Structures are given as C-alpha cells and as structure tokens.
C-alpha cells in the first residue's frame, strides 16, 4: 500500500539519459529493494563496460521530477574537485527570466527521509524556505553563493517561493535539487508562508522543521553546523527577539495551524508593523500566535551598512549569531531591486 518508486539513471551523453525504474512495495519492501539493488548493480556494470557514466540515485514518492542538465551546460572541476554545471533552473518562465548566475554542484538533500504522517511523505527532515520575488534573482544568486562559500551541501533542502508572478506554478525541482514555486500573491516578506501551507504535503516541500528566511540574506561558516542539528517539535517556534526580519524556525505543526492566515495580502508598511508588533493588522496574525512554545535566541547585532547588490543604495546589515545569517535591509525604503529600480519610501508622506 505504501510504496516507493526508485529511479536509477545513467548518462550516455550530456543530454541523453537512460533510466530504469523499480517499485518497492510493502510489505516485502526490503526483499524487493535488494532485488532492485542487484539489478541496478548489474545495470551499472553493463553500462560501465560501454563507457557510460552514472548519475546520482533519485528516490522519490508520488511523482517523479525530471532532472536534466540545462541546454549548453558544461562540467568543470571546482577547487574542491566537484563538478559545477553552469546553467539555469529547469522549465519555468520566471526561472528563465531570472536565470541564476551561480549554480552549486550539489543535488543532495539531508537524506531521503520518508515520514508517514497522514499524507506526509517528506524527502528531507528540514527545509530552508526562501521567501523571494520574481524580480529578486540577483539577491537569490548572492544567497546561494554565500551558502556555497560557507560549505553548505544540502541543496535539495532548499525551497524558493517567488511572489509577484504572472501565474502560479506547481513545485519544480531543478537539476541541482533546489525546488521553486511561483506565486501570484505579493505580500513582500510573507509570500512563502502562504505557499508553504498550500504545498505542505508535497514530498519536495514538506519537512519536520522549517527555517524561514528572506532572499536578502547571506550566510557564514556557522550556518551548516546549525542546519545539520536543527530540529523542532511540531508546535515549536525559534527566533531572535522581534524585530527579526521574519527569520524564524518552526515545526510543521504550525503550518497546519496557521492555515490560510497568510493568504491575506499585506503592504510593505503593514508587514513592517507586523514584524515590529507595533500595530495589529486586521485579518492576519503573526506566526507566534499559532505556536505552542516560542524559544528566543540571542538578539541580532547591527553591523553597519553595505551595498551587496551594487544598486548604489546602502543597506543596514544585521547579524543573527545563532543561525550565522547576515540580513541586508533597505531601511524605510523599497524598490532598489527589480522593477524599474526606483526607490520609494515605505511610509507615505505626511
């Protein structure tokens, strides 16, 4: 009844993939898996004799995502000996419009993790939820570059929700393992909360623990250590004292509890009020309203100003020591990234 679909692929040329599928079904899953493994080894042996190379094993439930290197991709050795394929995310209009300049070499997640919890079959124990916008490709690229520099390896643990899209998309996993979802909602810092609820049971999205971040962040070498150890109870929330740019970790139970709360569109000004807790916003609650327990980490630290995106507009820099995250804030303004590049005040003139 509860089965897995294993797909073993080999590469004959850069754009030619040969795949063999095996069904692993309960209650004889272990026996069938051993048979499948034996067949897979035999397959590799025969293809090795023909000079073919192997690609990583893809083990998924439900649907199979086709992972193909992008057109024109080339493989080069990196400094650490890994291959880096230069290309763009797979098959979405927004991905093509904001083609990633940086492409990490890892497709791995934190391990194939299959959890039976109602209808939840999750590929990862934890997911890094990146709240973004279709016009913020430059910020996402910088984010990925900093992750690679910090030594982060679990690219399959990343989900990027992009608000402000012309039309919504279903989750698409690129050949690097990163999952993208486009959303028509444009609630600035809160888009991904809405999308996460909608796809909370998708194997490529769901997890036990989520870390929610904005796209205008970078990471230091402390982050991978924190990531590997991050685990929260279903109703638990972890964050630094507010204001904290909505950098929060939480258990999957909060997603079920907040439901459609974040479908209410908020302006940038309302979003700031929510973050600071200075004013209640009708029709929407902050995340901690739904938490059984909220644990606080050390407060963020002011680090001066910087222009990480080369827009000519300085951003305030804050460091979150518990997570090893730097956040860049265009203070009381918006608009230097994407669109026409015109910077506007968040608050209307009095």
List, for residues 63-114, the tens digit of each pLDDT value: 333 333 444 433 333 333 332 222 333 333 433 333 344 444 445 555 444 5
Nearest of 335, 333, 348 to residue 135 by alpha carbon: 335
DSSP state of 190: G
Q: Residue 284: which residues within 8 A CB-CB, separation 6 or more?
A: 261, 262, 264, 266, 274
Would you say 266 and 281 are in contact if contact means Cβ atoms under 8 Å apart?
A: yes
**Residues in a beta bridge with 316:** 305, 329
Mean pLDDT over all residues of the chain?
A: 76
Task: Specify if 8 maps to a domain.
Answer: no
Task: Specify if 309 maps to a domain.
Answer: yes
Would you say 112 and 59 are in contact if contact means Cβ atoms under 8 Å apart?
A: yes
Task: Specify if 66 maps to a domain.
Answer: no
Number of structural domains (the chain) is: 1
d(CA 9, CA 20): 6
Query: What's the CATH code of the domain at 331?
Result: 3.90.550
Q: How many CB atoms lie within 10 A of CB 152?
A: 21
Q: In the prediction, which pLDDT does 258 show?
A: 98
Would you say 176 and 107 are in contact if contact means Cβ atoms under 8 Å apart?
A: yes
* Domain that includes residue 219, residue range: 124-340
Residue 155 is encoded by which pair of tokens?
A: 């690219």
Task: Specify if 248 maps to a domain.
Answer: yes
Task: Specify if 61 maps to a domain.
Answer: no
The residue ranking higher by pLDDT, 35 or 236, is 236
DSSP state of 73: -
Determine the 3-state secondary structure of 44 from DSSP. Answer: helix
d(CA 6, CA 38): 13
Task: Specify if 108 maps to a domain.
Answer: no
Among the listed ranges 115-129, 224-238, 323-337, which one has the minimum average pLDDT value?
A: 115-129
Task: Specify if 311 maps to a domain.
Answer: yes
Would you say 188 and 266 are in contact if contact means Cβ atoms under 8 Å apart?
A: yes
The residue ranking higher by pLDDT, 104 or 234, is 234
Which tens digit of pLDDT belongs to each residue from 166-187? 999 999 999 889 999 999 999 9
Q: In the prediction, which pLDDT does 102 show?
A: 43
d(CA 191, CA 294): 22
Mean pLDDT of 294-305: 97
pTM for the structure as a whole: 0.69
Task: Specify if 217 maps to a domain.
Answer: yes
């Amino acid at each position: 009844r509860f089965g897995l679909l294993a797909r073993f692929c080999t590469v004959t040329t850069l754009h030619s993939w040969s795949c063999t599928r095996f069904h692993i079904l309960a209650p004889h899953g272990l026996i069938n898996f051993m048979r499948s493994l034996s067949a897979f080894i035999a397959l590799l042996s025969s293809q090795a004799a023909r000079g073919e190379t192997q690609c990583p094993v893809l083990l998924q439930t439900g649907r199979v995502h086709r992972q193909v290197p992008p057109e024109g991709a080339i493989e080069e050795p990196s400094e650490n000996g890994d291959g880096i394929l230069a290309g763009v995310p797979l098959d979405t209009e927004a991905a093509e419009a904001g083609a990633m300049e940086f492409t990490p070499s890892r497709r791995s997640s934190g391990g194939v993790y299959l959890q039976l919890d109602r209808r939840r079959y999750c590929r990862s124990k934890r997911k890094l939820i990146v709240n973004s916008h279709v016009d913020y490709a430059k910020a996402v690229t910088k984010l990925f570059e900093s992750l690679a520099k910090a030594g982060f390896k679990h690219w399959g643990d990343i989900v990027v929700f992009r608000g402000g899209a012309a039309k919504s998309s279903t989750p698409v996993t690129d050949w690097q393992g990163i999952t993208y979802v486009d959303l028509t909602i444009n609630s600035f810092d809160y888009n991904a909360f809405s999308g996460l609820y909608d796809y909370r049971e998708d194997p490529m999205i769901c997890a036990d623990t989520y870390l929610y971040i904005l796209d205008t962040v970078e990471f230091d070498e402390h982050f991978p250590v924190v990531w590997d150890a991050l685990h929260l109870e279903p109703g638990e929330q972890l964050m630094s004292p507010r204001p904290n740019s909505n950098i929060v970790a939480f258990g999957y139970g909060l997603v079920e509890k907040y439901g459609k709360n974040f479908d209410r569109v908020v302006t940038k000004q309302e979003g700031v009020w929510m973050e600071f807790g200075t004013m209640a916003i009708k029709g929407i609650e902050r995340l901690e309203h739904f938490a059984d327990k909220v644990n606080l980490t050390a407060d963020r630290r002011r680090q001066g100003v910087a222009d990480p995106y080369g827009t000519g507009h300085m951003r305030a820099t804050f460091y979150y020591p518990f997570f090893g995250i730097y956040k860049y804030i265009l203070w009381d303004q918006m608009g230097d990234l994407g669109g026409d590049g015109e910077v506007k005040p968040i608050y209307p003139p009095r």
